[in-house]
Amino acid sequence: MSAFSAIGDDREIDRDEFTPGIEPQATWCPGCGDFGVLKALKQAMPEVGKNPDEVALFTGIGCSGKLNSYFNSYGFHTIHGRSLPVARAAKLANPELEVIAAGGDGDGYGIGGNHTIHTARENHDMTYIVFNNEIFGLTKGQTSPTSPKGHKSKTQPHGSAKSPIRPLSQQLNAGATYIARTAAVNPNQAKEIIAEAIEHDGFAHIDFLTQCPTWNKDAKHYVPYTDVQQSDEFDFDVSDRKEAAEMMRKTEERLYEGEVLTGRMYVEDERPSYGQEKRAIGEMPEEPLAERYFDEDAEWERTYDNLLEHHK
């Protein structure tokens, strides 16, 4: 019997299984977009047939980082900006786990920006949800990497002189193989996108627009929004890099002009995931490494027998 019998269990899953006994109202403000992510994520789980014990959710720090307090699965609430490297190793150590990472825009595009780029570049098979509220929530409303140019905050009282980061384009260039934008105000689309991202074999990046009514005084709710897949105006091929790049450029520009475009922006199915690449070159075992520690028949060689010869 596998040491991880929860993995691959194909019973019917009820989304309530993902609700722990504690309430998100404990930390999230009324009207916060984070509720929308939580809801969509919970709804996606029965759809992809995952049970709480086979999902490992890794978060960063911020209001967004509290996600796994309210999501009943294995969880690791790491440190600011570092959810991805922790999650990556978990996936390598046990590729059968469903690995999801989440955090805010400060978390993923600011302090953890380097990890975000490298995780996409390596195309780890995991889903990364960035709660993009264009602000630092938990530390009380400072300017974030996605705040618009000219944004005024207590730390930038004269208005930010910086242009916002373009996360979709950045992740396309970095190498992510599934890129989408959705919004908390659109739970159905969000659920579908999360489910697709989980099923995608490779790094799936979701820029999830979440309103922060407390600190983003314009109280952006990202409505009305347009689903680019539903609109005739945006006829493009999501598997074509060039067309995707152009679509992302439009999406990112128009957001700051008040037009909210959402939907799948890029889907690449051909590229093998990092784990597959590593296995192909013999740098990763076929069986999940984590299983070995529970396998009584596993052989643990002494280095004496293998390595000392050339020191003699």
Partner 1 sequence: MTDNELIWRIAGGSGDGIDSTSQNFAKALMRSGLHVFTHRHYPSRIRGGHTYVEVRAKDEDVQSRGDGYNFLLALGDSFARNPQDEAYYGKEELKPLYENFDDLREGGVLLYDEGLLDEEDVEEIELEEAAEENGWHVVPMDLRGIAKEHGREIMRNTAGIGATAAILDIGTEEFEELIRQNMSGDMQEANLNVLQDAYEAASELDIDHDIEVPEGSHDEEQVILSGSNAISYGALDEGCRFISGYPMTPWTDVFTIMSQHLPEFGGISEQVEDEIAAAALALGASHTGVKAMSGSSGGGFALMSEPLGLAEMTETPIVLVEAMRAGPSTGMPTKPEQADLEHVLYTSQGDSARVVFAPANIRECYTQTRAAFRIAYEYQIPAIVIYDQKIQGELRNLPASHFDEEPNADPGSVLTEEEIQDAAHHASGKFQRFLHEPEDGSNVSPRSVPGQKDGRYLATGNEHTPEGHISEDPNNRIAQMERRLGKLDDIRADLDENASHQAYYGPDEADYGILVWGSQQDTAFEAVDRLNENGHSVKALGVSDMAPYPVEEVSEWLDSVDQALVVEMNATAQFRGLTQKEIGKYGDKLSSLLKYNGNPFEPAEIVDGFESSINGEELAATNMKYLPAAGD
Ligand X SMILES: Cc1ncc(C[n+]2csc(CCOP(=O)(O)OP(=O)(O)O)c2C)c(N)n1
CA distances from 159 to 106, 162, 216 (A): 18, 9, 14
Q: How far is the CB of 304 from partner 1 (least distance, A)?
A: 4
Contacts of 285 (CB under 8 A, 6+ apart): 279, 292
User: At what angle are helices 187-199 and 34-48 packed, to 10 degrees?
Assistant: 50
> Which is nearer to ligand SF4, 103 or 288 (by Cβ)?
103
Binding of residue 290 to partner 1 (CB under 8 A):
yes
> Looking at 137, 167, 263, 275, which residue binds ligand SF4 (CB under 6 A)?
137
Choose the contact partner of 124 out of ligand SF4, partner 1, ligand X, none; CB within 5 to 8 A by kind: none
Specify the pairing of strand 203-209 against strand 98-104.
unpaired
> Looking at 24, 33, 62, 75, which residue binds partner 1 (CB under 8 A)?
75
Binding of residue 36 to ligand X (CB under 6 A):
no
> Which is nearer to partner 1, 17 or 246 (by Cβ)?
17
The residue range among 9-17, 29-37, 44-52, 243-251 that interacts with ligand SF4, by the rule CB under 6 A, is: 29-37
Contacts of 153 (CB under 8 A, 6+ apart): 135, 141, 142, 143, 147, 160
Binding of residue 78 to ligand X (CB under 6 A):
no
> Which is nearer to partner 1, 45 or 61 (by Cβ)?
61
The residue range among 131-139, 181-189, 199-207, 285-293 that interacts with ligand X, by the rule CB under 6 A, is: 131-139
Peptide linkage before 224 cis (omega within 30 of 0) = yes
3-state secondary structure of 37: helix
162 neighbors 152 (Cβ within 8 angstroms): no
Binding of residue 139 to ligand X (CB under 6 A):
yes
Contacts of 136 (CB under 8 A, 6+ apart): 62, 104, 106, 142, 143, 144, 215
Binding of residue 164 to ligand X (CB under 6 A):
no
Binding of residue 220 to partner 1 (CB under 8 A):
no
Structure tokens at 221: 């709710």
Residue carrying structure tokens 């390598």: 92
The residue range among 22-30, 129-137, 149-157, 170-178 that interacts with ligand X, by the rule CB under 6 A, is: 129-137
Binding of residue 42 to ligand X (CB under 6 A):
no
Binding of residue 205 to partner 1 (CB under 8 A):
no
Q: How far is the CB of 232 from partner 1 (least distance, A)?
A: 42
Binding of residue 83 to ligand X (CB under 6 A):
no
3-state secondary structure of 195: helix
> Which is nearer to ligand X, 54 or 107 (by Cβ)?
107
CA distances from 169 to 161, 180, 217, 233 (A): 21, 11, 27, 20
Binding of residue 211 to ligand X (CB under 6 A):
no
The sign one gets for the Cα dihedral 180, 185, 188, 191 is: positive
Binding of residue 143 to ligand SF4 (CB under 6 A):
no
Choose the contact partner of 185 out of ligand SF4, partner 1, ligand X, none; CB within 5 to 8 A by kind: none
Separation of alpha carbons 171 and 305, rounded Å: 46
User: By the criterion CB under 8 A, which residues form the site for partner 1?
Assistant: 3-7, 9, 20-22, 52-54, 56, 58, 61, 66, 68-69, 72-79, 82, 85-90, 92-94, 96-97, 114-115, 117-118, 278, 282-285, 289-290, 292-294, 298, 300-304, 306-308, 311-312
